[in-house]
């Protein structure tokens, strides 16, 4: 039970945070009178029972009078969200975010709503924000996988747009420091080395991305463009095609590479750098050596590419590039195969490949990260498929995100829980302001507990 001093303190805090103190007083009085349900409990119960229309009806008038109460505004947003009125729900979640930017549940609903209306950049932004506010790895992994799927969908949309607007693209306006790395070409004659085409490209992109003077196009953007252009590997490495791809990717320069198996223990890796605007060569380079030193050869090739671009790098950049993720060729081949499976949407097969890579080299951290992401993605897609028919993109391929059920209804919470949550955030903010230290919001708190169970797979709007 609250003492009179505690009641006064709560009312004082509610005024300070622009929360409707009339509702707090009424709810606290009900609590003292015998732990009767509060207005928050009543609304939560109705949402739990699926009475979204009742909540919407009751809150329309209440919101006019109590627009400063973020909890009430959020209940309205959730009711609309549950009704699949995503675009209508968005302004309510946005309003709550302005009033209380540390409400992790609201941030999740905000991200899910943006996803539902196919505003993927904003959805990714708020999913990332949500992840910054939780320390629970399983939830973080789920959100990371969700963001990865959304990012792929956004890249697909960007590729479609680039092709539609190709005639209007001005190569001269592409920044000179942008560069794209195409998949390497397998000239070894050994089919089993095909996975290296994407694995080598991924490793080279990762290394060049450590050079601050360069802006490197990510591989997934290239992959989605190639899919939209219906190119096979031969079309991708064709000299006549390369300048067009560079233009569509927004890259001023292109790196094309290939690898050869010279003998049982010798390998050679070649690369050329071309100008997108003219198609002319900036430079060519190659490196050869023992297969046992394959990964060191790849690093040497990257340094030669940087040299051909006339870029001077710092000692810290050089040291970062020299980091070798694995020296186990089998592990790297399996990792590369996993990348290819993911590109094709074959996540179960990707899991098998990534698992083999991790087993071959437990210290191969990128393989471990990709394995975790593939598992989460597979779970998201399989859960979505079991609840409803998968959404297909206009090209006939799966978009990666499928229609699924909305998050579970809210759980009930007492006014005391709500007040304590607000008070804790206010005290933390006040303490940080006075000390000059800003901590990661919500980093010491558990998963959301007021409105909904954390991290269900968000829905897509009905077709």
Each residue's pLDDT expressed in tens, for the chain with a length of 463 residues = 444 334 433 433 443 344 444 444 444 444 444 456 788 888 888 888 888 998 898 888 777 666 788 888 999 999 999 999 999 999 999 999 999 998 888 898 999 999 989 999 999 999 989 888 876 555 777 788 888 888 888 888 888 888 888 888 888 889 999 999 999 999 988 899 999 999 999 999 999 999 999 999 998 888 888 888 876 554 455 566 777 888 888 899 999 899 998 677 888 999 999 888 877 888 888 899 888 889 999 999 999 999 999 999 999 999 999 999 999 999 999 999 999 999 988 999 999 999 999 999 999 999 999 999 899 888 888 765 554 443 333 333 333 444 343 343 333 233 334 334 433 443 433 333 332 222 233 333 333 333 333 334 454 333 3
459 lies in a domain?
Answer: no
The number of beta carbons lying within 10 Å of the beta carbon of residue 109 is 30
d(CA 384, CA 393): 16
Same domain, 197 and 283: yes
401 part of a folded domain: no
CA 148/CA 425 separation, integer angstroms:
31
Is position 306 within any domain? Answer: yes
Q: If residue 141 lies in a helix (H) or strand (E), which one and from where to where? A: helix 137-164
Listed in sequence order, the residues at least 6 apart from 354 whose beta carbon sits closer than 8 Å to its beta carbon are 334, 335, 338, 367, 368, 370, 371, 374
Query: Are 14 and 152 part of one and the same domain?
Result: yes
Which of 307, 324, 341 is the endpoint of a domain?
A: 324
pTM beyond 0.75: the answer is no
The CATH code of the domain that includes 124 is: 1.25.40.10
> Would 194 be classed as within a structural domain?
yes
In-domain check, residue 95: yes
Q: How many domains does the chain have?
A: 2
Instruction: Specify the 3-state DSSP secondary structure of 183.
Output: coil
pLDDT at 452: 32
CB neighbours of residue 234 within 10 Å: 9
Q: Look up the CATH number of the domain holding residue 250.
A: 3.40.50.10610
Is the residue at 361 inside a domain? Answer: no
Judge if 191 and 64 occupy the same domain. Answer: no
Range of the domain at 278: 172-324
- For residues 114 and 180, state if they share a domain: no
120 assigned to some structural domain? yes
Residues 141 and 243 in one domain: no
| β pairing state of 266-275 and 281-290 | antiparallel
Alpha-carbon gap, residue 297 to 205, rounded angstroms: 15
- From the list 137, 321, 113, the residue with the least C-alpha distance to 127 is 113
Partners of 178 in the beta sheet?
Answer: 215
Is residue 337 in some structural domain? no
On whether both 149 and 187 belong to a single domain, the answer is no
Q: Do residue 56 and residue 117 come from a single domain?
A: yes
Domain boundary among the residues 278, 298, 324 is at: 324
Q: What's residue 436's pLDDT?
A: 29
302/179 same-domain check: yes
Cβ atoms within 10 Å of 265's Cβ, excluding its own:
10
Whether residue 48 is found in the same domain as residue 74 = yes
32 and 111 both lie in a single domain: yes
- Report helix, strand or coil for 231: coil
The CA distance from 204 to 184, in Å, is 10
Same domain? For 145 and 186 the reply is: no
The domain boundary residue, chosen from 303, 324, 345 = 324
Selection from 242, 239, 208 nearest residue 225 by Cα: 242
Is 352 in a helix, a strand, or coil?
helix
- Considering the domain architecture, whether residues 98 and 234 belong to the same structural domain is answered as no
Closest CA to 7 of 20, 16, 413, 26: 26
């Amino acid at each position: 039970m609250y003492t009179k001093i505690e009641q006064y303190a709560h009312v004082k805090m509610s005024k300070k945070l622009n929360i409707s103190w009339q509702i707090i007083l009424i709810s606290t009085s009900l609590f003292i009178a015998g732990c009767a349900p509060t207005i928050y409990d009543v609304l939560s119960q109705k949402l739990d029972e699926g009475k979204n229309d009742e909540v919407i009806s009751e809150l329309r008038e209440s919101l006019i009078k109590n627009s400063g109460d973020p909890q009430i505004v959020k209940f309205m947003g959730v009711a609309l969200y549950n009704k699949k009125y995503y675009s209508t729900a968005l302004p309510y979640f946005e309003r709550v975010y302005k009033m209380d930017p540390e409400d992790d549940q609201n941030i999740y609903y905000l991200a899910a709503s943006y996803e539902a209306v196919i505003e993927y950049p904003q959805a990714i932004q708020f999913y990332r924000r949500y992840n910054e506010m939780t320390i629970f790895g399983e939830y973080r992994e789920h959100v990371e996988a969700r963001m990865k799927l959304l990012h792929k969908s956004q890249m697909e949309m960007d590729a479609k747009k680039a092709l539609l607007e190709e005639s209007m693209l001005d190569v001269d306006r592409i920044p000179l420091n942008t560069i794209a790395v195409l998949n390497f070409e397998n000239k070894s004659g050994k089919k089993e080395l095909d996975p290296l085409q994407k694995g080598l490209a991924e490793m080279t992109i990762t290394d060049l991305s450590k050079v601050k003077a360069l802006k490197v196009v990510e591989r997934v953007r290239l992959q989605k463009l190639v899919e939209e252009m219906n190119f096979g590997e031969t079309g991708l490495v064709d000299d006549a095609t390369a300048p067009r791809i560079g233009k569509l990717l927004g890259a001023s320069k292109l790196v094309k590479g290939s690898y050869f198996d010279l003998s049982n223990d010798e390998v050679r890796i070649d690369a050329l750098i071309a100008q997108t605007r003219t198609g002319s060569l900036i430079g060519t380079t190659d490196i050869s050596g023992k297969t046992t030193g394959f990964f060191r050869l790849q690093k040497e090739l990257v340094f030669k590419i940087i040299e051909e671009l006339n870029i001077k790098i710092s000692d810290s950049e050089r040291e970062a590039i020299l980091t070798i993720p694995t020296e186990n060729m089998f592990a790297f081949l399996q990792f590369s195969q996993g990348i290819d499976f993911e590109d094709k949407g074959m996540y179960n097969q990707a899991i098998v490949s990534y698992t083999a890579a991790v087993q071959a080299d437990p210290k191969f951290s990128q393989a471990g990260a990709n394995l975790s992401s593939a598992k989460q993605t597979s779970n998201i897609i399989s859960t979505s498929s079991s609840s409803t028919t998968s959404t297909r993109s206009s090209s006939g391929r799966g978009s990666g995100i499928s229609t699924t059920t909305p998050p579970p209804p809210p759980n009930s919470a007492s006014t005391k829980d709500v007040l304590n949550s607000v008070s804790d955030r206010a005290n933390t903010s006040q303490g940080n302001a006075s000390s000059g230290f800003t901590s990661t919001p919500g980093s010491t708190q558990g998963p959301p507990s007021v409105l909904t169970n954390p991290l269900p797979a968000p829905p897509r709007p009905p077709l």
